[in-house]
Amino acid sequence: MTKPGTARRVFDPLLNELVAERDTSSERIRAKLTDAYDWCLCELCWRSTEYATAVGARKFFKRPRRENAHAAPLTDAIRVEAQKEADALVARYERAWKGEFGPYEPGRMVATYCDIVEMRGDCSVEAFREHVEQRALIAAWARHSNLLAVTRLPGQPKGAAKPSKLYCEAHNPRRSDEARRAYQRDKRFAPQYNELIEKIWTEQAGNLLAWDIEAHVHVKREAYRQLQVHKSPTRLIDDLLAQGTMSQAEIARQLGVSRQAVSAAIKRRSQKPMAID
């Protein structure tokens, strides 16, 4: 593990070069980032991690000597350069499909140049082209500027906490008081949450496409919804009812569940507490 605040050189496959990264990347975070589907989803809910959001909003900057950095424009010259590179790769991919470089080359090229999650199992030449064009553009753009590491979320002020690789904006304990409370509230139930995720995958195995990121989001969202209702229906709903002014619909909105689920949970209050099984 690198000491906090220590800069290290890491290879960025997108840019094809070493970049300095100040990071505490623990084993846990590294393990998460290597999971093709889970890397971009919050540990405690179905939303994107702050990091995934920030990566999507990556911008390129130029820093002329000591002046302040400014955003680097995407020029026609960069586009032409990127297009040339993409065309060459697509041509090679077509030849690879014809078996020119051996049986494993198409797969190797997809693994090297594309995002398998985004490809969603479509390894056609068209899909390859689409992904490679996008990547080549980013790489060419970066060559004409300095890529700043993903240090801030869009719209976040200077000095704000670094985008979390584990949690979404609503669950990052360093983001705000509200997010810290949500984190503390849901962290305790993380084992049950993961159990629910497993359970839903098993139950719906026939209907879910394991290679589709949307299926992963759907399962996590559903597990989160079930957890909110199951996790302490009496106390949670009692608390909200005690505030007096809240309708069932408002409670439902607060808990992120349906009104029917709240109504069912209120009915269950008289019965024995439910456990997740």
By CB under 5 A, residue 44 contacts Zn ion:
yes
Q: Which of 41, 142, 153, 168 binds Zn ion (CB under 5 A)?
A: 168
Give the binding range for Zn ion (CB under 5 A) out of 2-10, 43-51, 117-125, 210-218: 43-51
Give the binding range for Zn ion (CB under 5 A) out of 10-18, 42-50, 101-109, 254-262: 42-50
For Zn ion, the closer CB: 42 or 252: 42
Work out how close the CB of 78 gets to Zn ion at its nearest, in angstroms, rounded to a whole number: 36
Give the binding range for Zn ion (CB under 5 A) out of 38-46, 80-88, 91-99, 243-251: 38-46
Total number of residues that touch Zn ion (CB under 5 A): 6
For Zn ion, the closer CB: 131 or 171: 171
By CB under 5 A, residue 140 contacts Zn ion:
no
For Zn ion, the closer CB: 42 or 240: 42
DSSP strand E in the chain: where?
7-12, 17-22, 60-62, 70-71, 146-147
By CB under 5 A, residue 171 contacts Zn ion:
yes
By CB under 5 A, residue 179 contacts Zn ion:
no
Work out how close the CB of 167 gets to Zn ion at its nearest, in angstroms, rounded to a whole number: 5
Q: Which two tokens stand for residue 176?
A: 């705000």
Work out how close the CB of 179 gets to Zn ion at its nearest, in angstroms, rounded to a whole number: 9
Burial of 92: CB neighbours in 10 Å, binned 0-12, 13-18, 19+: middle
Burial of 123: CB neighbours in 10 Å, binned 0-12, 13-18, 19+: middle
Q: Which of 40, 41, 45, 251 binds Zn ion (CB under 5 A)?
A: 45
Q: Which two tokens stand for residue 134?
A: 């996008």
Report yes or no: 20 and 8 within 8 Å, Cβ to Cβ.
Answer: yes
For Zn ion, the closer CB: 72 or 179: 179
CB atoms within 10 A of CB 277: 6
Of all residues in the chain, what percent are helix, strand and coil, respectively (each to 5)?
Answer: 50, 10, 40
CA 266 to each of CA 73, 232, 275: distance values in angstroms, whole numbers, following the listed order: 57, 11, 15
> Which H or E element spans position 67?
none
Q: Give the residue at shortest CB distance from Zn ion.
A: 42
Q: Which of 40, 41, 42, 96 binds Zn ion (CB under 5 A)?
A: 42
Report yes or no: 45 and 220 within 8 Å, Cβ to Cβ.
Answer: yes
Residues 47 to 76 in contact with Zn ion, rule: CB under 5 A = 47
Report yes or no: 130 and 115 within 8 Å, Cβ to Cβ.
Answer: no
- Smallest Cα–Cα separation from 224: which of 252, 261, 250, 186? 186
For Zn ion, the closer CB: 52 or 96: 52
Give the footprint of Zn ion on this chain (CB under 5 A): 42, 44-45, 47, 168, 171
